[in-house]
Structure 1
Amino acid sequence: MNSEYVVRLDGEPMRFEADVDPEQIGVKAARLAELAREGIRVPEGFAVTAKAYREFVHHAGLAPTIAQEIRRFRAGRDLVVAAAKIRSAFCDASLPAAVADEILDAYEELGGDGTEVAVRCSPVASADAVQDDVFLHLTSGADVVAACRRCFASLYNAVAVGNREAEAIDHLKAVMPVTVQRMVRADVGGSGTARGENTFVRVRASWGLGEPPQADADLYSVHPGARPLIVRHRGAKLTKTVYADPRGTRPVPTTPAERAALVLTDEELQELARWSVVADKHFRRPTTLDWAKDGHTGELYLLEVRPGVAPAVTIRSRGRAVFQPSASRLR
């Protein structure tokens, strides 16, 4: 379904009925949607649009509260206190019925109550720092609606307010889209990153959730092509991060078998390498892909696309080596 307040991010097959607009669904969601169009697997889900955020702020009459607390901050009130006052007003307000109904309808399309989803902020502007606010393994429509409201409120954490002040951005024009997607059970599978470096794709992988530390992870170099070359380095993988009730995470020791095994098969490495090549070509920039492997289905999923820093390229000029770094920002 696509509407004023909700845009579907993927489908089977990967088709989109609406234009992918970062101003409406946020940069993170837009990048995922663009690559899903290229055939890369992303978790099924939907985006709650910037228009939904604006309707919420208007319906709840939050603009005067925002303006008042910003004036108080500029007059000397502590930034943390002023930002907290605004967030409290957001969390105390109810979403308009039309917005809540569309969110609930979209969640019902994913399977409804009992279907595990993750709810994430998807900022439009880099100044709107949200410190990776994410609400994991939610299993009811009511929880999804509440998490969307909390994501809206995160637009007024102290860091985001301070950033907009420093950049002279109008707070009342800021928006916060939200992404809702099926949970990928990486806690019983694996996760990591992939990024292109010259002719190789470097993949980092570990058991469980999150980006693994380089010293602890499996490291792979994959040369994509008809005759792929794969170099493997098995990491120690001493711990992994798993989901923990109520909706949190916790580290646990890995088993001897997990420490001895490689996280990814050659076929999976080739798939991740292909994704990395597609992403770099699509965005015309180096990218870093955050991926996860669902431990129940065995499928790989793209979770996030981030600007990646290209390695320095050695250019031979009259017998001398010159190092020329590439640009690193996504469009």
Structure 2
Amino acid sequence: MNPEYVVRLNGAAEAAVDSAQVGAKAARLTELARDGIRVPEGFAVTAAAYREFVRDARLGPTIAQAIRRYRAGRDLVVAAAEIRSAFRDAWLPPAVVDEILAAYRELGGDGTEVAVRCSPGTLPDGVQDEVFLHLDTAQDVLAACRRCFASLFGTVAVGNREALGVDHIRAAMPVLVQRMVRADLGGSGTAHGESTFVRVRASWGLGEPPPAEADQYSVHPGPRPMIVKHRGAKLTKTVYTDPRGTRTVETTPAERAAFVLADEELRELACWSVLADQRLRRPTTLEWAKDGVSGELYALEARPGAVPQVVVQACGRSVLQPQLG
């Protein structure tokens, strides 16, 4: 496998990870995997692969011409859409295709469900975070990679780079490809350290749960773990739906009455949260998901910074709400 175009997420235990090549999301997940935190198996399509695509498809002149027209007075929405259209119509270079397909085959190949999403660098340029769920063919994976590449030229992203004076040609978009975690059959949420406790929020289904409905847990991750639980209403959950989308459905009475996480799972998440803070050397919000098929927990993303929260009483149960300001 050519490390210039593809980097395996779970296979870089010894080599240094270049966040400029694999993107911030993939770099953080690779660092967490080194510490034994379970992350979905997958790979990053690198910034070098993006640049080879732009070079091979001769997209540089298209980008430059659209930007010149915008600077001459053309509508930004039209200019950005023209670039994205050119990206979606272009073919990926054979060398990049070969590396992506080889990496996908390692995950199982056609029939193996994966999620494909952008893994931008640290520059806050307003790139839309494209996400493509439960793809299960090689051609779908390649098409999603092209769409992620194209998202670098969203209207807001182009406008922000213009305002910041960033060269559009020098920008790049790595892409993250990972096995699907069937959180729609299990649960998902966040965990972050707060003083000597780790605060965990959990709900059934996909996505970050709303504070007013989610289960809330406080876990002391020391040698004598202490766990405080507050059951949320969990009235709805988000599940996968065809074609490759999501929808919100009502939870069952049994789901509303049950806690999403067992004590052992809470201790594992608390340990992961502490390790993430130590590895990234800053307070971190850990996004996690529980696979409803395997029953295993996975870290999906580590975001620097934790949202301060306070405890208030609502409807007879303790609920954590974000501190505004």
Task: Report the TM range for the smaller structure's normalisation.
Answer: over 0.9
Determine whether 1:138 maps to 2:135: yes
8 Å contact kept, 1:292–1:301: yes
User: Residues 105-254 of structure 1: matches in 2 within 5 Å?
Assistant: 105-254=102-251
Q: Secondary structure at the match of 2:7?
A: strand
Give a deviation string over 1:71-118, Cα, whole Å, max 9, x none. 111111111111000000000100000101110010000000000000
For residues 212-236 of structure 1, the C-alpha deviation after alignment (integer angstroms, 9 at most, x for no partner) is 0000000000011111110100000
Partner of 2:284: 287
CA distance in 2, matches of 1:299, 1:130: 31
Distance (Å, rounded) in 1 between the aligned partners of 2:165 and 2:213:
42
Q: Any idea what SS the aligned residue of 1:203 has?
A: strand
Q: Distance in 2 between matches of 1:309 and 1:9?
A: 24
Match of 2:48 in 1: 51
Q: Who is 2:18 aligned against?
A: 21
Q: Take 1:2 and 1:239, find their aligned partners in 2: how far apart are those partners?
A: 44
User: Aligned to 1:270, which of 267, 271, 277?
Assistant: 267
Corresponding residue of 1:4: 4
The amino acid that maps onto 2:248 is: P
Residue 162 (structure 1) shift: 1.1
What root-mean-square deviation, in Å, do the aligned CA atoms of Structure 1 and Structure 2 show? 1.2
* In 2: Cα distance, 1:147 partner to 1:169 partner: 25
| Superposed displacement of residue 128, structure 1 | 3.6
SS at match of 1:172: coil
1:62 aligns with 2:59: yes
The letter for the 2-side match of 1:9 is L
Q: Is the 8 A contact 1:289 1:303 kept in 2?
A: yes
- After TM superposition, the structure 1 = structure 2 runs for residues 305-320 of structure 1, keeping only pairs within 5 Å, are 305-309=302-306, 311=308
- Identity rate, percent: 76
Partner letter of residue 234 of structure 2?
K
In 2, are the aligned partners of 1:127 and 1:164 still within 8 Å (CA)? no
Q: What pairs up with 1:79-98 in 2 under 5 angstroms? A: 79-98=76-95
Find the residue that maps to 1:194 and give its secondary structure: strand
CA distance in 1, matches of 2:105, 2:289: 24
Name segments (4+ residues, structure 1) moved above 4 Å.
Answer: none
Distance 1:128 1:4 in 2: 24
Equivalent residue of 2:165, what SS?
Answer: coil
- Cα deviation for residue 130 of structure 1 reads 2.9
Query: C-alpha distance in 2, partners of 1:125/1:306?
Result: 11
Shift of 1:311: 4.5
Question: Which string of whole-angstrom CA distances, capped at 9 and with x for unpartnered residues, describes residues 26-48 of structure 1?
Answer: 00100000010011000000000
Native 8 Å contact 1:217 1:234 kept in 2: yes
Contact kept? 1:2, 1:17, Cα under 8 Å = no
Give 1:283 deviation, angstroms: 1.3
How many residue pairs match? The answer is 309
TM-score under structure 2 normalisation? 0.93
Cα separation, 2, equivalents of 1:43 and 1:172 = 32
One-letter code of the match for 1:236?
Answer: A
Structure 1 stretches lacking a partner, 5+ long: 313-331
Structure 2 counterpart SS, 1:173: coil
